[in-house]
Chains A and B, each alone.
Chain A
Amino acid sequence: MTADPRPVVPLDPSLAPPGTRAFRDAGGIPADRWRADQDGETLVPTHCCFCGVQCGMYLRVDRGGKVFGVEPRNHDINRMRLCPKGINAYQQVNHPDRLTAPLMRRSRDEVFREVSWDEALDFTVSEIKRIQQAHGNDAFGLLGGASLFSEKTYLVGKFARVALKSRHVDYNGRLCMVSAAGANKLAFGIDRAGNPFSDCLLTDCLLIAGSNVGECFPVMTQYVWGARDRGASLIVVDPRETAIARTADIHVALKPGTDSAFFTSVLNVVVEEGLTDEAYLAAHATGWEEVRAKAAEYPPSRAAEICGVPAEQIVQVARTFARAPKAMAWHARGIEHHSQGVENCLAVINLCAATGHIGKPGAGYGTITGQGNGQGGREHGQKADLLPGGRSIMNEEHRRQICEIWGIEESELPPAGTSMMEMVWQMQRREIRGLIGICNNPFVSLPNYRVVKEGYDATEFHAQFDFFLSETAANAHVVLPVTTWAEDEGVMANAEARVVKHNKAQDAPPGVRTDTWVMCELARRLGAGDKFAFADSRAVFDELRIASAGTVNDYYGITYERLEETGGIAWPCPSTDHPGTPRLFEDGRTYHPDGKIHLQVVEWHPPMDPYDDEHPMSLTTGRTVAHFLSGNQTRRLGALVEQTPRPWAEVHPSHGFRNGEPVRVITRRGSEVFPALVTEAIRPDTVFIPYHWPVPTAANALTIDALDPRSKIPEYKVCACRIEHAEKIDEVPAPPVAPGQVAYPEAQVSRTDPLPPTAPQGRGTSERS
């Protein structure tokens, strides 16, 4: 591995926000006077490692070359703003829980011991060979992650197909936005948001469906409030009254799992009231007759009953959205995490298209990615059915193109594999007997924990790449310690499909390797070294660019140098003088060969977990602002732990609970006890639990592993449940501890005063002392 040149910016007051201009003009003060106690500090420009906003930030690096703080950065996306996760992210870089040597054990009865890289890799390779010789290549699988840089996700796909020669590769973005991806692909032939965030500032009506922007994409709120400042209407569709819904013109608190009925009914009103843009539809869409006929079956009276909202509200939404000169719809997991996730997204697209709100400044649609590289993570072949450049692994032509670039015979390229949840079912059935996991934590993030545990326990060999010992890594035979985002360079694509570059801020601790190095080294030991002769991320990126050239997901014109100059380029970007494509369809053409929007008929069906007398309520799950996904990273950072120390069950006052009382939530998969957060901000027939914690306080021990038949996304957002009074609240488990490491080290946690004993369990605590 060659050391990357570290891009450094000397600490300089001119890096400050607009207010600093006066200071500079006045002659300034030498950079080293700005913080005398941090003389010699450098600021490395990079981006937050967490969500799909990808806020720009500087990491503060001390004279010893160690990251020790954060400084806001005036990047286009976030203009200095950061959420608490972004502010605290730097603390994980030199966290005492970091894994710094490979851990290994031959069976799950043994304890881990620290071993050399050679021993860990040799054991891994011998297990891969043993399993594949006995049970075939497809008996070994690979699960990647959408927090990896795009270079690494490209390598994951190539490694599985070329080095492992297995069809079984998928990634945790499967749990994120694949429903939207599928819908966008069907309708537009391209899988990304149509407009940049900044288009919110140009719109007259903003519709946000199933996205708790305030908690999940806090920095995007500035665009929502910016739209409000300029007089735009705000429509929020969400079973809970979130911070955004609180000030919306219309808050549609519909029953979980009824979104497609709602949006089709809105379309019904649009048609009935003659608010469709027939000229636009005639010129730019196919399938409108069928869609209109289906919409006629969803009058507001029927949808009101399905969705549990007043019919007048449906009419109001239709008029507000359709009559606005320019309107935009953003959606996220709230409508995507369903067994009808693709339909839900298609219903929103049908509405945008029918009203002509597509492809204009301030008019269009977008999906908000959860993970930092949720967008880029699937573009280059990490997904079971995709090859680099978004090519289909089922398409002869696409297969041929990639085999040429990879230098393999087409017969050697495996067919499509199965999705992440299906792979776990296959592990349960012992069809997949060995697994490598990279940057994912399914023990917390997959639904129906019991099934996940059974699947993983049934594997004969399990290796995991991670920088902290996650709940899933604690189940492995081999744990390989890899770098954090601050110790390597690479690109990610944010929710706007804007590719941004992360820079290296410090060297990896001794004993820690980059994921790139580990995958290349494993490939070498598996006999495919010539196909994996990559020195670093840049070398991988250059191959990725070529592999994507000429496809819809064209990265060819994006180079590291250009990214550093511009602060980000949206793909497609076919040549090095192309400015990128921040907004799609401006010329009225989609990416289908006929250039049209292919509208799809949507039919609502009830959620997969039926309600009955024993389970009359809906359980729905989501995020809190202080934690990120499975919490493996954020549950170790003191300030974030204090802000939201534990999960809770949000219930309506009509159930007779007092705040903080133990409430047992029971589904067909199990039951758990949480403190109640009693609030009128939720529907009486719905319970909400945030999902960042493992058992025994894991929302995902209760959720159902039903999948959308097309996108194979699990139905996290609705299952049948009931609630009861309980005796005592389940303890929150600490993260697993590796030998020689400490979890929740004193130094990282007690940076502030201890919590008052009566601290509310839910939305964090006031800091009043």
Chain B
Amino acid sequence: MMGRTIFIDPGRCIGCQACVSACRECDSHRGKSMIHLDYTDEGHSVASLPTVCMHCEDPVAPCAEVCPADAILVTADGVVQQADTTRCIGCANCVNACPFGVPKIDLQAKLQMKCNLCYDRTAYGLAPMCATVCPTGALFYGTAEELQAERPGVQIADTFTFGETEVRTGVAMVVPADKVRWPVPGGLPVVEINGKDVRR
């Protein structure tokens, strides 16, 4: 897994689609969103789940591997870029290869588009648009340590099996912590909010 990356925590998602709207505002593909929002159990629950590109590490990006035009670049820091506009032929091989169903094809432009982890922002130290705005933290950008400091006890999964094949990804899913049940012995561990010590 990369150092700073996106962690997806479906237990927190409220299905608001702020991520979808924010993704449209990204300067590298303005007007189009590269995020899917799925309602996993419609009719029974309001549960929802955002999907961004998982930036596969091992095997290295199936989409890039199958691309006949070598249009999908994987950067040294593990980000799988969207197709190079000067190379992509719009064949949709990548769409079929991706185990997570991420790349999209703009049929008119004959061009693949997908989440490139807001490379225009992350390269400068900013968080991706979706993870920046996500009101709930269902999309979190940072390191695993930062995540666990904020959400004590959560586990992370970055390996997924598809039949015989295992895929290890740069983006990870958050597995909920065992719920701490009331009463909380000795109160709560919060000591600081907005930089101020709040213990009384």
Contacts and interface: CB of A to CB of B under 8 A. Distances in A.
Nearest to A362: B188
A324 B184 CA distance: 8
Contact of B33 (A69, A202, A325, A752): A752
Nearest to B27: A35
B17 interface: yes
Interface in B20-62: 20-22, 24-25, 27, 31-33, 35-39, 42-48
B20 A680 contact: no
Given A82-B133, A231-B180, A678 B43 contact: yes
B35 A81 contact: no
B125 A13 contact: yes
B194 A246 contact: no
A659 B43 contact: yes
A266 interface: no
Nearest to B152: A229
A198 B45 CA distance: 29
A24 B32 CA distance: 30
A767 B20 contact: yes
A315 interface: no
B183 interface: yes
A452 to B, nearest CB: 31
B69 to A, nearest CB: 20
B193 A198 contact: yes
Interface string A751-769: 1110000001001101111
B46 A17 contact: no
A70 B142 CA distance: 22
A752 B32 contact: yes
Contacts of A678: 43
Contacts of A231: 180-182, 184, 188
A640 B151 CA distance: 31
A231 B189 CA distance: 9
A74 to B, nearest CB: 9
Interface stretch (A124-132, A236-244, A693-701): A236-244
B51 to A, nearest CB: 8
A231 B186 CA distance: 12
Contacts of B101: 768
Contacts, number: 207
A268 B15 CA distance: 37
A625 B33 CA distance: 18
B11 interface: yes
Interface string B127-142: 1010011111100011
A208 B31 CA distance: 36
Interface in A668-691: 678-681
B39 A763 contact: yes
Interface stretch (A214-222, A306-314, A707-715): A214-222
Nearest to A233: B182
B20 A34 contact: no
Contacts of A230: 152, 184, 188-190
A233 B182 CA distance: 6
Interface residues of B, number: 63
Interface in B170-200: 180-184, 187-190, 193-194, 198, 200
B85 to A, nearest CB: 15
A219 B135 contact: yes
Interface string B59-101: 0000000000000000000000000000000000000000001
Contacts of A221: 12, 14, 135-136
Interface string A610-641: 00000000000000011000000000000110
Interface string A67-110: 00110100010101111101110000000000000000000000
B37 A218 contact: no
B25 to A, nearest CB: 6
A760 B42 contact: yes
Contacts of B132: 17, 72, 80-81
B156 interface: no
A396 interface: no
A746 to B, nearest CB: 13
B37 A764 contact: yes
19 contacts: A16-B127, A19-B142, A21-B125, A70-B25, A83-B18, A84-B18, A198-B194, A204-B187, A218-B18, A230-B152, A231-B180, A243-B48, A249-B182, A324-B182, A325-B187, A639-B24, A643-B20, A643-B21, A681-B45
Interface of A: 13, 16-17, 19-24, 29, 34-35, 37-38, 69-70, 72, 76, 78, 80-84, 86-88, 198, 201-205, 214-215, 218-222, 225, 229-233, 241-244, 246-247, 249, 320, 323-326, 360-362, 625-626, 639-640, 643, 653, 659, 678-681, 751-753, 760, 763-764, 766-769
Given A83-B135, A763-B15, 5 more contacts: A82-B135, A230-B184, A361-B200, A681-B44, A766-B36
Give 4 closest A-B pairs by Cβ, nearest first: A23-B125, A214-B14, A231-B180, A243-B14
